[in-house]
Amino acid sequence: MKVVLIGPPASGKGTQAQLLEKYLNLKHISTGDLFRKIMKEDTALGKEVKKYMDKAMLVPDDLTIKVLKQELEQIGNNNFILDGYPRTLNQAKNLSKYIGIDKYIDLDVGLDNIKNRIENRRICQRCGQIYNKLIDNIDDEICKKCGDKLVKRKDDKQDIVVSRYKEFEKLTKPVIKYYKDLGILKTIDGEGSVQKVFENIKQYIEEGK
């Protein structure tokens, strides 16, 4: 099974992908996580990626397409969930050239809700597990999965999230329209509880299996 999850920043893509990873035994591929790892490396590629990540801008398509393709080749192009890719029409068209996706899902969440979520989002600095301070009982700021420290993402700031949302509207909404016009994308309301959203995703995934 190959699944693509699209949605604005902090729409719950990462959280839902982590749940799907366990449920369907899929490899969770987050281009955001890949880039966060790459930018820590003292390499030309790391420095290049950092330039964009520091400004909370999308990494250019040629580089993103290359990094994703390498990652997919490493896992044998099989059984994965793509979180945060494609984010541009160019990325979407390139992906369909070399791989067939079984399910395309768009998580629909409005900007007010997103602003609220990023205030409370924490991630584990080691394993990337995502938490919400309001629901996950993490007063000790320690990851329940691996015991490492929880941190706020550098790009989880109100002004940054608004500009990332605008970028989403300009560059990623056309991707949603593209898949919708092809009749292959399901929009799921992402504003309910984590469990409710997950139930809806599971139901859609089970359809026509």
Q: Which residues are catalytic?
A: 13, 87, 121, 153, 164
- The three-state secondary structure class of 186 is strand
Diameter over CA atoms, the chain: 47
Contact criterion met (CB below 8 Å) for 172 and 6? yes
Half-sphere exposure of 184 (CA within 13 A, CB side): 15
Q: Which residues inside 130-149 make contact with ligand AMP, applying CB under 6 A?
A: none
Helix (H, G, I), strand (E, B) or coil at 109: coil
Question: Is residue 85 within the footprint of ligand AMP (CB under 6 A)?
Answer: yes
CB of 118 to ligand AMP, least distance (A): 10
Per CB under 6 A, the list member of 64, 94, 129, 200 interacting with ligand AMP is 64
E strands, 43-120, are 80-83, 103-108
With CB under 6 A as the contact rule, the residue among 45, 46, 52, 132 that binds ligand AMP is: 52
# chain residues binding ligand AMP, by CB under 6 A = 17
Q: Is 18 in the site for ligand AMP (CB under 6 A)?
A: no
The span of 85-93, 102-110, 115-123, 134-142 binding ligand AMP (CB under 6 A) equals 85-93
9 contributes a contact to ligand AMP by CB under 6 A: yes
Q: Residue 131 forms beta bridges with which residues?
A: 122
Among 15, 81, 87, 201, binds ligand AMP (CB under 6 A): 87
Using the rule CB under 6 A, give the single segment among 56-64, 98-106, 118-126, 129-137 that binds ligand AMP.
56-64
Measured between alpha carbons, how far is 28 from 2 in angstroms, rounded to an integer? 10
20 contributes a contact to ligand AMP by CB under 6 A: no
CA distances, 173 to each of 8, 103, 107, 206 (Å):
9, 18, 12, 26
* Under rule CB under 6 A, residue 172 binds ligand AMP: no
Q: Which residues pair with 121 in a beta bridge?
A: 132
Contact 78, 25 (CB under 8 A): no
Residues in the site for ligand AMP, rule: CB under 6 A? 9, 30-32, 35, 52-53, 56-59, 64, 84-85, 87, 91, 164
